[in-house]
Structure 1
Amino acid sequence: MLKPLKNKSSLLVGSGLLGLALIGTIPLAPKAIDWMEQRQQAQIEKALQEDSNKPSVVLTLAEIPSEQRRQKLEEIAASDTLSLERSRARYLLAVDLLKKYEGGPALRQLEGLENEYPVLAPLILLKRGRGYELTNEKAKAQETWQELVKTYPESLIAAEALVKLGQSDPSHWDEAIAKFPQHPGTQEIIRERLTKNPQQPELLLLLAKYDKNNPATNPMRDRLVKDYASQLTPEDWQAIADGYWAVEDYYKAALAYQKAPSTAQNLYRIGRGQQLQPNGNNKATVQAAYQKLLVAFPQAPEAALALQRLAQLSQPETAISYLDQLINKFPEQAGDALVKKAELLDKLNRQGEATKIRQTLLSKYAKSDATAEYRWLIAQKAAERGDALKAWTWAQPIVVNNPESPLAPKAGFWVGKWAQQLGRLEEAETAFEYVVTRHPQSYYAWRSAVQLGWNVGNFNTIRQTLPQVAKPTTRSLPPAGSAMFQELYRLGQDREAITLFQAEMSDRAELDVNESFTDALLKLVQGKNLVGINQVWDLKKKEELESQEQWQKLRETPEYWHALFPFPFYQTIMDWSQKRQLNPLLVTSLIRQESRFEPEIASPVGAKGLMQVMPATGEWVANKIQLKNYSLSNPNDNVNLGTWYLNHTHDTYSNNSLLAVASYNAGPGNVSKWVKRYQTSDPDVFVEKIPFKETKGYVESVFGNYWNYLRIYNPDIAQLLAQKNQQTPK
């Protein structure tokens, strides 16, 4: 009987191709074998494509400890039916076994797996080599890694095989450096070689080009600039400058950009980098750099930035001339420029001209954010005088003309509140509906939902509210990176996924929106929550049209909001919230604001950990609850102490969460003074009157967080918002 094709025996039975296996009793010509392989591969690809759209049990096990998931994975892996689920289960079992140095069982799971799981085929060969290593079959390990390099010569996984092979034959390391300088494994080899012999500019340059975002590369860049400047090309200088800029060493970047190709961005960064030089800068040099940009690239977006910087650096009369250029050449910047011009005219005691400028702002640039800010300033002043009609009149156009302005949700909410005061109840309801549907992520959407009577908890009822929380059971598909990377990420294979993504992105001068978001997801799975959340938040700051389009599309996905409002330390938060009888989403929201879920973070005044507990407060609470040998860096201890104190502030203010949260930030003494001073029954008015800017922002942020966690993780509110959006005309 003809032997099954190499590594295909399990594949034939598993894919329902037993009939093809049985014809092995008849000798087959090579072309017949090729036909068989092609047909098998086609059936595999079809089965996997159909399977990829189905819910995955394996993916729900991705972040569960290996011992807890082993039995379920073994059941799935033992299936006789070819499926993506079976392939994933076999791979995860093999990885778990290799980590426990069980090479033989891992090899059995990996046998033939590359044929039925092609997306991870190079990695499967790499793992198989490791399995042979563990069973002391070193020759087979070497053969397997050589097969990987030969079969997948362009795959970044081949770099890892070359690193392995180089341990016995260093010539393979030369090959890795030549073919895969972008791979972190190769870069480690480069660094080791530089440690032994620093005088290798070609290796220094490889790190400068392919490991530019790493602050540890700065000494390499410094050495190139100091010792090998005459050998560097303009393109080399570009890589060096981009690296300095990426790690925020702006002055060194500015000096390097002077020798890079002359582009609008480079010229701007020459000026800006010198302007940001610590311990002062040469104002004339900075101005000259910006002026050079204006001459060389007068219409570039960077020219608009240069005019803004020059206006900031100049005396009022000269600054006005730069602002006039900005208004004439870049109409989209005219609103902000007019506001600044009016302010300068006021300083020059030319109030008449300033008034005309502001009239022009209102009439000609009604849709600019600057106009929205000016209108809101007038509306606020009217409201403070008790003139609800004038406040409504000035604020209402913001909703119509500036729907994308950061002020739009706030203006919309207060348009509704002022309409209520004026007895215009239908208009008020329309305004609240507008904020909820058009700006559902804002703090004012929550305040509007309260006004509409939704069951979302108000300031005086949130504490007792216990909303259902539904977390995603699997990781979403990242919007960037290769198919192999995406599969590894979803499988929870974070080390391999991070390494692969770093290698794939290493030649990018800057990441686009989808790439940066994917990078932020990797930060979050590493527990770098502060960096990850901030990186997602900063995506909106990318001003290019393509970037804005990507961002707008991305923020329509649930994955974007899950990343911006993640739920680390979920069980710890849920357990202590339940014990303190606190709304777990309120606790989560306060933690997000306090520390971005960083257990080790410390504030300038000494507050520590997730809930930013002051050491003295922690000691006081620990004595109250008889907690000994605690650590503020321990998440469980910190949340224990922090939730007790949050419960204490609620008890102090009769379960009013507005006052409790304000007290958590500003202290009970200040809050008690404000309650006596303002004596208002309207909590929204009270928030506006809080005299500490930090505390006012803190309150809005915490409850804005609460609303977002509610709309993202509570199925009832998520469904209600979805229904509202369907009913709202686009």
Structure 2
Amino acid sequence: MLRRLRNPIPLAVGAGLSALLIGTTLLVMRWSNLGQGWSVGGQLGGQISSQSKGQPKSTVLPLVALSASQRASQLEAIASGSKSLDRNRARFLLADDLIQQKQGKKALTWLEGLEQDYQVLAPQVALKRAQAYEVSGDKAKANAAWQELLERYGENSVAAEALFALGRNDPKLYDQAIASFPSHPRSIEIAWTRLKQNPNQLSLLLLLLNHDTDSKQINTVLEALQNKYAAQLKPEDWEAIAYIYWDRFDYDKAGQAYAKATRTPLNLYRAGRGRQLRGKRAEAIAAYQQLLREFPNAKDTGLGLIRLAQLVPSQQALPYLEMAINKFPEKAGEALLAKAKILDATNSTKSASQARQLALSKYADSEAVGEYRWSKAQGRAKAGDFLGAWQWAQPITKNNTDSELAPKAAFWVGKWATRLGHQKDGKASFEYVLSNYPESYYAWRSAGILGLDVGTFNTVRDMTPQVVRPFERSLLPAGSEAVKELYQLGQNDDAWTLWQAEFRDRIQPTVAQQFTDGVLRLGVGQNIKGITKVESLGWWRDTPEERSQISALKQESAYWHALYPFPFLEYIENWSQERKLNPLLVTALMRQESRFEPGIRSSAGAMGLMQVMPATGAWIAQAINTKSYALDNPNDNIKFGTWYLDHTHETYSNNSMFAVASYNAGPGNVSKWIKDIGLSDPDEFVEAVPFVETQGYIKHVFENYWNYLRLYNPQMSEILSRYRARG
């Protein structure tokens, strides 16, 4: 019935930060009959400060998440006080609230003199003044304000707003906006309008290629550039085209474009990989061989050799693998195991064994060696040899500590040790998982085995944990001071607009830039892209400096809050209460289904936040006697999705594992698995689910649930901090 988003090739999936989440004042959520509900509280850990250095604690920032009516009186009191940063902030927020309410004249009173006092947002104050005149209907004063803004802040990107407004009477100013601020959303808007009038404008197509990669219409730009202007495109243009295709997982077109891009190791590798992923063997081989010829010592060449060996006949593959073994130590383990497999196929048993032993002994920290160990451990466990399984898996916990496999291996080491009667060793393994991999699904399972009140598959539905969200937004690690200030003030649209005008390194952003981009996207409701930006920070980064930066970022609460947000709170609260479902479980499932994107539609036709199939929606509507509904409406979608989640729980006697699996794969499959696998051990059941997608789905949903619990429940946060201190 419902299908989750597929994991992107080649690695993992992820999470997000809503416009209301990072550092906002808490919204109080209560259920009359579901326990304590959600309550107000402070920030839970982390080092990214929510307050500028040298400034006293703000009285304004905790008001950011409140509505205009809720905060008006408090802001007015602060705005009427003595000069201070908070006074400036209060006046700015009051003016913006009034502009949104079309009360321009009142807004102007709060803006008077603010431009001089509030230097960090002086251009934005001038912008608000012009907007205030606009909404008050005073066109003459609005034009004068726009002109004054242009004269004072002509070098600032906010001038694009003035050029756009004044360009309505003088279209030549549109040319100036495009020339001076090509990445500004107003310039993008002008470019699209002009292309609709005349699509044959190469300069505008290139502007959109470089500055509007997320547009739903970008495919028309890509097609026009390749079909009409291919001969005029430069290598950097092809790289920009390739990047967009790669980012959208269209690897065939990406590979073709990378082949025409600037010759770099990464571009040539992706030229080969894109073709390989789409089954174009000859083209992939040619690209990898070109990579080897032109960049024989580059890091990407090591992986290219492994890929090349996968595409050629066995005897031709061996020299490529030998080259990888000898020149690229980080790929030697994988190459040795691939070599052993080829030698086995040619009955060179002794040589194959030697290659495997060398991989196991010298390259134990290789991801490929860890995976090989795990496959052997699984085989031993399946045969009932738990000691052998333990012996094969235990080294993974020491040698592959940064691998996604590590928490899984450590958890099962604990399970197998317990089965062998080594209770103390088993407990130590579960504690190790909890302290070293607290974000993992296996940490949740370990916590339950250790006796923590985190819920089990049979009890999690009825739990109503206290949840506390941070008071204030954390400072962004990148962007101008104006972007950071606007974001802290909850001015999501203005912060995002300014960031787009500033952000230049879209193809190769720094860690700080990519995280900032993700957070700001989430602020304006681009949930899938925002979550992916945050989650994918480490997908392509492997320099020591970048890894260190990512590791440091993951120590901050802001990073995790960005991955696990609470959008659509009101609807989740309402329908969780109605269905008597744990609201964190509903949030966790929704995060997995749609990444909180209300308008998303799967290839199978599933719609909205909880990915309800239209046919299933019609069935539910009949069951609950609802005639009018829209599955792309958040309230309706959550209403229907929670009904079906309640239905799957009822089907399986409130076992949430089966309920969640059924939500993804359907009741027929789950019933068959229960019959085939049995119910003796829930962990073994999950690992034995034959649908790879559904097995991953179960783990991701409960991993999501666990992260919401550990991040926002004060008691659990405190317990885990003690485990981390021990670890």
Shorter-chain TM range is 0.7 to 0.9
Q: Distance in 2 between matches of 1:275 and 1:182?
A: 34
Whether 2:518 is the aligned partner of 1:516: answer: no
Partner of residue 645, structure 1: 644
Shift of 1:132: 3.2
Q: Which of 439, 449, 452 is matched with 2:450 structurally? A: 452
Whether 2:536 is the aligned partner of 1:547: answer: no
Shift of 1:404: 1.3
Shift of 1:714: 0.9
Q: Distance in 2 between matches of 1:373 and 1:108?
A: 66
Give the counterpart letter for 2:518 in structure 1: A
Q: Distance in 2 between matches of 1:579 and 1:654?
A: 18
Shift of 1:510: 2.4
Q: Distance in 2 between matches of 1:640 and 1:225?
A: 45
Partner of residue 347, structure 1: 345
Q: Which of 76, 79, 82 is matched with 1:77 structurally? A: 79
Q: 8 Å contact 1:51–1:84 — kept in the other structure?
A: no
Partner of residue 10, structure 2: none
Give the counterpart letter for 2:339 in structure 1: K
More helix per residue: 1
Partner of residue 37, structure 1: none
1:359-398 correspondence to structure 2 within 5 Å:
359-398=357-396
Partner of residue 565, structure 2: 566
Q: Which of 459, 462, 476 is matched with 2:460 structurally? A: 462
Q: Which of 52, 57, 69 is matched with 1:54 structurally? A: 57
Q: CA distance change for structure 1 residues 199 and 695 in 2, over 3 Å: closer, same or farther?
A: closer
Q: Distance in 2 between matches of 1:679 and 1:96?
A: 59
Q: 8 Å contact 1:215–1:247 — kept in the other structure?
A: no
Q: 8 Å contact 2:496–2:521 — kept in the other structure?
A: no
Partner of residue 6, structure 1: none
Per-residue deviation, residues 445-474 of structure 1 (Å, max 9, x unmatched) = 111111211111122221222110112343
Shift of 1:625: 3.5
Give the counterpart letter for 1:650 in structure 2: H
Q: CA distance change for structure 1 residues 540 and 120 in 2, over 3 Å: closer, same or farther?
A: same
Deviation larger for 325-334 or 484-493:
484-493
Q: Identify unmatched segments of 5+ residues in structure 1.
A: 1-47
Partner of residue 126, structure 1: 127
Q: 8 Å contact 1:212–1:246 — kept in the other structure?
A: no
Whether 2:693 is the aligned partner of 1:690: answer: no
Partner of residue 19, structure 2: none
Q: Distance in 2 between matches of 1:620 and 1:199?
A: 49
Q: 8 Å contact 2:371–2:405 — kept in the other structure?
A: yes
Q: Distance in 1 between matches of 2:624 and 2:245?
A: 50
Q: Distance in 1 between matches of 2:100 and 2:193?
A: 26
Partner of residue 659, structure 2: 660
Aligned Cα RMSD in Å?
3.0
Q: Which of 412, 426, 429 is matched with 2:424 structurally? A: 426
Q: Distance in 2 between matches of 1:457 and 1:173?
A: 59
Per-residue deviation, residues 414-466 of structure 1 (Å, max 9, x unmatched) = 11111112222221111111000000011111111112111111222212221
Per-residue deviation, residues 512-536 of structure 1 (Å, max 9, x unmatched) = 3222222222332333333332332
Partner of residue 93, structure 1: 94
Q: 8 Å contact 1:212–1:242 — kept in the other structure?
A: no
Shift of 1:393: 1.6
Whether 2:328 is the aligned partner of 1:325: answer: no
Q: CA distance change for structure 1 residues 597 and 141 in 2, over 3 Å: closer, same or farther?
A: closer
TM-score normalised by L of structure 1: 0.85
Shift of 1:125: 0.8
Q: 8 Å contact 2:303–2:331 — kept in the other structure?
A: no
Matched position secondary structure for 1:470? strand
Q: Distance in 2 between matches of 1:257 and 1:189?
A: 29
Per-residue deviation, residues 473-502 of structure 1 (Å, max 9, x unmatched) = 433322222111122222222222222111
Give the counterpart letter for 2:719 in structure 1: L
Q: Distance in 2 between matches of 1:253 and 1:718?
A: 43
Give the counterpart letter for 2:453 in structure 1: N
Q: CA distance change for structure 1 residues 602 and 163 in 2, over 3 Å: closer, same or farther?
A: closer
Count of residue correspondences: 676
Q: Distance in 2 between matches of 1:352 and 1:367?
A: 24
Partner of residue 402, structure 1: 400
Per-residue deviation, residues 550-602 of structure 1 (Å, max 9, x unmatched) = 22222221122122222211222122222322221122212222232333334
Shift of 1:257: 5.4
Q: CA distance change for structure 1 residues 417 and 273 in 2, over 3 Å: closer, same or farther?
A: closer
Q: CA distance change for structure 1 residues 272 and 693 in 2, over 3 Å: closer, same or farther?
A: closer
Give the counterpart letter for 1:337 in structure 2: A
Matched position secondary structure for 1:69? helix
Give the counterpart letter for 1:568 in structure 2: P
Shift of 1:124: 0.6
Per-residue deviation, residues 192-228 of structure 1 (Å, max 9, x unmatched) = 4455556654454444444455564555565566666
State percent identity of aligned pairs: 54
Partner of residue 356, structure 1: 354
Q: 8 Å contact 2:608–2:634 — kept in the other structure?
A: yes
Q: CA distance change for structure 1 residues 215 and 133 in 2, over 3 Å: closer, same or farther?
A: closer
Partner of residue 292, structure 1: 290
Q: Distance in 2 between matches of 1:224 and 1:616?
A: 40
Q: Distance in 2 between matches of 1:331 and 1:186?
A: 48
Q: 8 Å contact 2:259–2:287 — kept in the other structure?
A: no
Q: 8 Å contact 2:519–2:562 — kept in the other structure?
A: yes
More relative contact order in 1 or in 2 (CA 8 Å, sep 6+)?
Answer: 2
Give the counterpart letter for 1:110 in structure 2: L
Shift of 1:405: 1.6
Q: 8 Å contact 1:271–1:290 — kept in the other structure?
A: yes
Deviation larger for 470-479 or 358-367:
470-479
1:83-232 correspondence to structure 2 within 5 Å:
83-135=84-136, 138-196=139-197, 201-211=202-212, 214=215, 216=217, 219-220=220-221
Q: 8 Å contact 2:410–2:429 — kept in the other structure?
A: yes
Partner of residue 575, structure 1: 574
Shift of 1:310: 1.6
Q: CA distance change for structure 1 residues 182 and 601 in 2, over 3 Å: closer, same or farther?
A: closer
Q: Distance in 2 between matches of 1:99 and 1:235?
A: 42
Q: Which of 311, 314, 317 is matched with 1:316 structurally? A: 314
Deviation larger for 614-623 or 541-550:
614-623
Q: CA distance change for structure 1 residues 316 and 584 in 2, over 3 Å: closer, same or farther?
A: same
Q: CA distance change for structure 1 residues 461 and 238 in 2, over 3 Å: closer, same or farther?
A: closer
Q: Distance in 1 between matches of 2:200 and 2:685?
A: 66
Deviation larger for 471-480 or 567-576:
471-480
Q: 8 Å contact 2:658–2:670 — kept in the other structure?
A: yes
Q: Distance in 1 between matches of 2:443 and 2:720?
A: 11
Q: 8 Å contact 1:591–1:597 — kept in the other structure?
A: yes
Q: 8 Å contact 2:394–2:413 — kept in the other structure?
A: yes
Q: CA distance change for structure 1 residues 406 and 625 in 2, over 3 Å: closer, same or farther?
A: same
Partner of residue 625, structure 2: 626
TM-score normalised by L of structure 2: 0.85
Partner of residue 525, structure 1: 523
Q: 8 Å contact 1:213–1:246 — kept in the other structure?
A: no
Q: Distance in 2 between matches of 1:204 and 1:632?
A: 35
Deviation larger for 353-362 or 471-480:
471-480
Q: Distance in 1 between matches of 2:216 and 2:418?
A: 55
Give the counterpart letter for 2:346 in structure 1: L
Q: 8 Å contact 2:493–2:524 — kept in the other structure?
A: no
Q: Distance in 2 between matches of 1:690 and 1:241?
A: 37
Give the counterpart letter for 1:567 in structure 2: F
Q: Distance in 2 between matches of 1:174 and 1:671?
A: 61
Matched position secondary structure for 2:124? helix
Give the counterpart letter for 2:633 in structure 1: N
Q: CA distance change for structure 1 residues 75 and 190 in 2, over 3 Å: closer, same or farther?
A: same
Q: 8 Å contact 1:211–1:506 — kept in the other structure?
A: no
Q: 8 Å contact 2:553–2:559 — kept in the other structure?
A: yes
Shift of 1:275: 4.9
Q: Distance in 1 between matches of 2:491 and 2:344?
A: 60
